[in-house]
Structure 1
Amino acid sequence: MSVLDETASREGSGPSRPRMTQRQRAVLILLLSSTFLLAADLSLLNVAVPLIGDGLGFAVGDLQWIATAFALTAAGFTLFFGRVGDFFGRRMLFIAGMTLLVLSSLLGGVANDPTVLITARVLQGLATAMSTPAALSLLTTSFPEGPLRARALGANGAMVSAGFTVGAIVGGLLTDLLSWRWAFLINVPIGLVIIAFTPYLLAESKVARTARMDVPGAITVSTGLVSLVYGVSRAGEEGWADPFVLGCVVIGAALLVWFWRIELRAQEPLASVRILRKPTVRWGNIGGLVTITMQTAVIFMVTLYLQDVLGWSAMATGLAFAVLGVAAFLGGSFAPRIIGRIGNHRSLVTGMALQAVGPVGLVLVARQDSGPAGVTVLLALLSVGAFGHVTAVVSYMVTGTSGLPDEEQGLATGLATMTQQVALAVGIPVISSIATSRIHALEATHSESESVFSGVRLALAVDAGVVIVAVVVIVVFLRRVAEQRRVDMK
């Protein structure tokens, strides 16, 4: 049973069930197309990263910036642009974001050196930060609260998994048959079609507010994230004792603390951090931060292993990620049933425990010369991890928004979205810095393949360890919360 089936079963069936109008269907198709395109971008470029590095002269330790430059700007500015859309118009912001995506994709497709390509990725990240919150807001405002909106949001979530799966396959095909440049250029015609239909199908949407926009919060969170993640990324090459690295990390951490204090006082905060006083919200978001941060890094590390160690082609890597994408889609489909059977707290920690199977499996099973049998076992373990990851993501969203009155649901959802965006930004640079340090330590005495393999294994061992520790901590504290509730009820 799919997520939409679950929703339908709760809503009932028959003639009383509300139906979408033709215009609503057209609006849904348009917005889901943008969601699909943005999700596909992640896996399209994942499989092309090593070939991009070879084609433009990236050092192995710098490959992470192809992904990090995008994720960092997307996470750093999503909250800011979400509020810009509220004040100045979501349709306007959506069109601007999709236009920037087209232009930046064109720039990436014709890039002839690392600087131009990283610039294109930064601009793509900004485009995503503009388009994603605008598209989600337009989706919710285009459908009335209730069954229609629930089905639209369910379909939007399914498109994320579908986009990742199809993007992996298409990315491999385009890279092998044509060039890695088409992983960028394919966005251009699709984006132009979306832009052309938007003015005809979507009405402008904005909220009249008397309060000022939280500019100090936007500046501190964006600058803080950029500084912190940049420092962590450079630590892999320069070492943690480097003054510049330490300066970036300290400044970034200080700005994020300042952001927290600003949000506590702001009349219209970007993120309502006060709501973290609720135990379920706090531990749900911690679980979400860990599971998304660590799984993002797993995907990047596996890409390096398959292509730089085993020598797989981009097409073969894309097909491998398609298998993980199918497992992730199944996780999203079965997550509501799992939550209904064992509860959201248990499903969160169960999903996280299953997620750890993927990196643990690679550490224990992977070899430098793995044959078909070894790779098959490895992909099976990574698929278990992908299934658990999506189950954990759905569970953290439920946990982080449960036990709250209706008037606080929007705040909790916004906080969960911020957690997701921050996790996407920090996962690859944090874990890659561990791999990069190991690679640099061995490259003088070992072959490139041996160095990369050792770095990948160490990074994934740390990745799995973080997830397992988080599972134990969350189990302990959520159990205490449950026991306290039982005492209070008595």
Structure 2
Amino acid sequence: MSAISVAPQRTTPLAAPAPYRLTGRLRLVLAVLLVTQFMLAVDFSILNVALPAIGDGLGFSLSNLQWIATSFALSAAGFTLLFGRIGDLVGRKRIFLGSIGLLGVASLVGGLTSSPEVLIVARVLQGLATAAATPAGLSLLTTSFPEGPLRQKALGLSGALMSAGFTTGAILGGVLTDVLSWRWAFFINVPVALAVLLVAPSVIQESRPAGRPRLDLPGALSVTLGLLGLVYGLTQAGEHGWTNPHALVGLVAGTLLLVVFYLVERKVAQPLVPLKVLRRRNVAWGNVLGLLAFVTETSLVYLLTLYMQKTLGFSALVAGISFGVLGLGTVVGGLLAPKLIARTSTLTTLVAGGLIQAVFTAALIFLGTGTASSMALLLPATFLGGVGNMLVIVGFMVTATSGLPDREQGLATGLATMSQQVGITMGTPIMSAIVTAVTAGAVTATAILDGVTVAIAVNTALVGLGALIAAVFLRVRRA
């Protein structure tokens, strides 16, 4: 079994034998971690609908409004791998609690501010808190539950709530903005963060390495700056097109820095990401599948929002509520995934989920301009596509975190979280650029439908590619 190149470590305090049934304490651990993951997922989308109201309330210019979302995405995606590794070194519980505290404070500041600059700072801090809390929370989950049915069940519930949280954020943002104020999209985090901070210290056990190996600073800087460059380039491409100078500079700089990161990891004595771990098929290909799963489903939400508002003429609130069906599908998929994995295999679950998602995403190509007929197709297709997508997400999480010792779970979950957050960030700019290219600037209902249809076809192809990758590269080799 591959391991990171540091002296052998043991977890302190010594862990008790792994339980095989869900005890009372584990139920509390699971509840705390699931509530947190749900809250973090909601934050990815809760402000999307509220952006115009925030711009009007604080005086954001139209060109700067996108930075409310971009500043969060940059910090959330760029720092996940670094914070996941730091959690391994200084203690996952400590990182988890500190990041939840930061999220609560940043949310309070964001809700109270009357300044655009302070709001952007609050969003950056929210993103940093998410980058730290998500891998730490997943690490605590994977190390609290033994590999097997219990962990699969926990990851299934976690994946379902993360995906449902992204959908819920779109709905909740519209409701809060219309009924109360956009400020409540920030304030809603504060009581949840306080509840987690009150309960978590007494139910979650710390996991900390006995030794204190040095942090790979060159690797940390190069991968963090590289991811920041890629995410920045992608968001600029989605906003202004792929030929935009800022987009090109970000993408090129990000790519070069990730090449530097690879070269650093080959030479450094104590690498941030040991290449032996990346050579594991389950880690490498599992994260590719996770990236594709989040690129496709989260960007589909964007495409269907665009379609319902610009082609069918729905309000933002009605469009958001329509995604409740998708959210229900992800919850069903999260509950089914552990059972399917137990009865068949992780590979079967990945391939089956990918095929289900591909079929029902492809069905959306036949959407038209008629409201009744289109919604009769859209609602069941998004429900069943959500089921398939969640089978893939749970399968990816189980695949990418299996077969690794506890001391590497922070690295494994950091990689998985990075795949998730970069996928969420990449999907919308890619699909937005496709729609823009097809419509050539036209904003009529028919032009938007044509652009969305082409983008959905590309989305379907990416889902199919994921199923093919799983079938070819994760197939168990027989002796």
Cα distance per residue 1:138-166 (max 9 Å; x no partner): 44566788887776555544543554565
- Structure 2 Cα separation of the partners of residues 39 and 148 of structure 1: 23
Q: 1:72 aligns with which of 71, 74, 81?
A: 74
Confirm or deny that 1:395 pairs with 2:398: no
Aligned to 2:461: 465
Q: Which amino acid aligns with 2:334?
A: G
Change (3 A) 1:267 1:155: farther
Aligned to 1:332: 334
Q: Which amino acid aligns with 1:20?
A: T
CA drift of 1:64 comes to: 6.2
Q: Give the % identical residues.
A: 47
Change (3 A) 1:276 1:57: same
Cα distance per residue 1:160-189 (max 9 Å; x no partner): 355456545544432332233322221122
Confirm or deny that 1:20 pairs with 2:23: yes
User: Any gaps of 5 or more consecutive residues in structure 2?
Assistant: 1-18
1:37-436 → structure 2 map (5 Å cutoff): 37-48=39-50, 66-110=68-112, 117-139=119-141, 155-161=157-163, 163-164=165-166, 167=169, 169-199=171-201, 202=204, 205-340=207-342, 343-367=345-369, 370-400=370-400, 404=403, 410=409, 415-436=415-436
Query: Which shows bigger deviation, 339-348 or 149-158?
Result: 149-158
Change (3 A) 1:141 1:391: closer
Contact preservation (8 Å) 1:237, 1:436: no
Change (3 A) 1:238 1:271: same
Aligned to 1:9: none
What secondary structure, in the 3-state scheme, does the structure 1 residue paired with 2:214 have?
A: coil
What secondary structure, in the 3-state scheme, does the structure 2 residue paired with 1:134 have?
A: helix
Cα distance per residue 1:89-117 (max 9 Å; x no partner): 43443333123212332344356676655
Cα distance per residue 1:50-107 (max 9 Å; x no partner): 6556767879998765544323321211121122233334344333312321233234
CA drift of 1:252 comes to: 0.7
- Structure 2 Cα separation of the partners of residues 152 and 415 of structure 1: 18
Cα distance per residue 1:268-300 (max 9 Å; x no partner): 433334334344544333222212222221122
- Structure 2 Cα separation of the partners of residues 352 and 58 of structure 1: 41
Change (3 A) 1:232 1:26: closer
CA drift of 1:201 comes to: 5.0
- Structure 1 Cα separation of the partners of residues 202 and 469 of structure 2: 51
Q: Which amino acid aligns with 1:179?
A: S
Aligned to 1:442: 441
With normalisation by structure 1, the TM-score equals 0.79
Q: Which amino acid aligns with 1:393?
A: I
CA drift of 1:374 comes to: 1.6
Change (3 A) 1:438 1:100: farther
Change (3 A) 1:397 1:463: same
Contact preservation (8 Å) 1:39, 1:161: yes
Change (3 A) 1:28 1:283: closer
The root-mean-square deviation of aligned C-alpha atoms, in Å, is 3.7
Cα distance per residue 1:442-467 (max 9 Å; x no partner): 24xx55x5665554344333222333
RCO higher in structure (CA 8 A, sep ≥6)? 2
With normalisation by structure 2, the TM-score equals 0.80
Cα distance per residue 1:2-51 (max 9 Å; x no partner): xxxxxxxxxxxxxx975635x65545443333223223333533554565
- Structure 2 Cα separation of the partners of residues 44 and 77 of structure 1: 21
CA drift of 1:390 comes to: 0.8
Length, aligned pairs only: 460
Q: Which amino acid aligns with 2:441?
A: L
Contact preservation (8 Å) 1:431, 1:459: yes
What secondary structure, in the 3-state scheme, does the structure 2 residue paired with 1:424 have?
A: helix
Change (3 A) 1:173 1:244: closer
Which has the larger helix fraction? 1
Aligned to 1:11: none
Query: Which shows bigger deviation, 173-182 or 246-255?
Result: 173-182
